[in-house]
Amino acid sequence: MENKEYKSGFVSIVGRPNVGKSTLLNRILNEKIVAVSDKPQTTRNTIRGIYSDEGGQVVFLDTPGIHEAKTRLNRSMVDAAYASLSGIDLLLLVVDATAPREDQFIRNVAAKAGCPVFLVLNKVDLVEPRERLLAVMAGLSSLHRFAEIVPISAHTGSNVERLLNLVRERLPEGIAYFPDDILTDQPEKVVCAELIREKVFRLTNAEVPYGTAVVVESFQERPSGVIAINATIMVERDGQKGIIIGKKGALLKKIGEQARRDIERLLGTRVYLELYVKVQERWTEKTAILRELGYE
């Protein structure tokens, strides 16, 4: 019997904010491990998502969207995205197919990668008619010698399996870098904090999500099997604290309920989640706090 070679490697997912990088990672892993929202700059640090099967292992790096950074936190985010371009086997440069006019950006990022680049045109479910998509693909194809140009919808899952197959074909023969039964190398505590932060991003507006971070303070399995989690939502100002708590605690309750549901699905067990809100002035500019949060 022929033994097919085991392939493995590191694949970065890079692009502008809000193009659907994290949605793509969750879709590939078939599980929500990273935060997704309709607001730009949802992802704050590079998170590894690990896809394993008998044929090999792909270690995906979901990165923050590259943008004009102003605060210290945002600079760290963009630095993290650029840092993810080295030491990888393949780059997935993700572009929003509904707004693909960023020639210089695409050229620059593709040129910085020392590896083959796939141009991934996401959100094709929003592009009609098909001729328009073909025209967009043709327009972008001259920007770099892309190894592949792959139109997908991370949202519906359309063509994502084909993308995954193309990725795996490109990887070298190698070893498993991680155990084959884990989806990420992030501790469960950190994944849970991200799922809570995602709810803050989804349920608040204006500057509030950007001044928010979440820390899981304790994570304990009780004899009954229930996991008890205490987490603190950190904000920069009193006003933001009031907004997050909401009228008679209504918004904090909603954040907690939605986060608990996601965490229960991920952990496959019942969860008891308690949330606190704490003001920590100007934390987005403080190195020590950024380090503690894993953002620097």
Ligand X SMILES: Nc1nc2c(ncn2[C@@H]2O[C@H](COP(=O)(O)OP(=O)(O)OP(=O)(O)O)[C@@H](O)[C@H]2O)c(=O)[nH]1
Kindly tell me which of 56 and 100 has the beta carbon lying closer to ligand X: 100
Tokens 């003001």 locate to: 279
Residues 18-57 that bind Mg ion (CB under 5 A): 21-22, 42-43
Sheet arrangement for strand 90-96: 47-53, 56-62, 7-15, 90-96, 117-122, 148-151
Kindly tell me which of 155 and 237 has the beta carbon lying closer to ligand X: 155
- Tell me which of Mg ion, ligand X, none is bound by residue 20, counting a contact when its beta carbon lies within the kind-specific cut-off of 5 to 8 angstroms: ligand X
**Number of neighbours of residue 186 by Cβ within 10 angstroms:** 19
Tell me the site size for ligand X, rule CB under 6 A: 23
Residue 159 lies near Mg ion (rule: CB under 5 A): no
> Chain centroid to CA 74: how far?
15
- What minimum distance in Å lies between the beta carbon of 23 and Mg ion? 8
**Spatial separation of the C-alpha atoms in residues 159 and 260, rounded to whole Å:** 31
Q: Which of 64, 209, 211, 256 binds ligand X (CB under 6 A)?
A: 64
Residue 12 lies near ligand X (rule: CB under 6 A): no
If you compute the radius of gyration of the chain from its CA atoms, what whole number of angstroms results?
Answer: 20
Kindly tell me which of 210 and 219 has the beta carbon lying closer to Mg ion: 210
Residue 38 lies near ligand X (rule: CB under 6 A): yes
Residue 17 lies near ligand X (rule: CB under 6 A): yes
Kindly tell me which of 47 and 251 has the beta carbon lying closer to ligand X: 47
Assess contact for 144 and 102: CB atoms under 8 A. Answer: no
- Tell me which of Mg ion, ligand X, none is bound by residue 31, counting a contact when its beta carbon lies within the kind-specific cut-off of 5 to 8 angstroms: none
Among 51-59, 101-109, 151-159, 267-275, the segment contacting ligand X (CB under 6 A): 151-159
**Spatial separation of the C-alpha atoms in residues 296 and 288, rounded to whole Å:** 9
Residue 37 lies near ligand X (rule: CB under 6 A): yes
Kindly tell me which of 16 and 260 has the beta carbon lying closer to ligand X: 16
Burial readout 148-161 (b: 16 or more C-beta within 10 A, e: otherwise): bbbbbbbbeeebbe
- Tell me which of ligand X, Mg ion, none is bound by residue 186, counting a contact when its beta carbon lies within the kind-specific cut-off of 5 to 8 angstroms: none
Residue 99 lies near ligand X (rule: CB under 6 A): no
Q: Enumerate residues 6+ apart whose C-beta is below 8 A from 291.
A: none
Residue 45 lies near ligand X (rule: CB under 6 A): no
Enclosing H/E stretch for 179: none
**Spatial separation of the C-alpha atoms in residues 240 and 203, rounded to whole Å:** 13
- Tell me which of ligand X, Mg ion, none is bound by residue 240, counting a contact when its beta carbon lies within the kind-specific cut-off of 5 to 8 angstroms: none
User: Is the Cα dihedral 56, 62, 63, 67 positive or negative?
Assistant: positive
Residue 125 lies near ligand X (rule: CB under 6 A): yes
Residue 126 lies near ligand X (rule: CB under 6 A): yes
**Number of neighbours of residue 180 by Cβ within 10 angstroms:** 12
Where on the chain is the footprint of ligand X (CB under 6 A)?
17-23, 36-38, 40-43, 64-65, 122-123, 125-126, 153-155
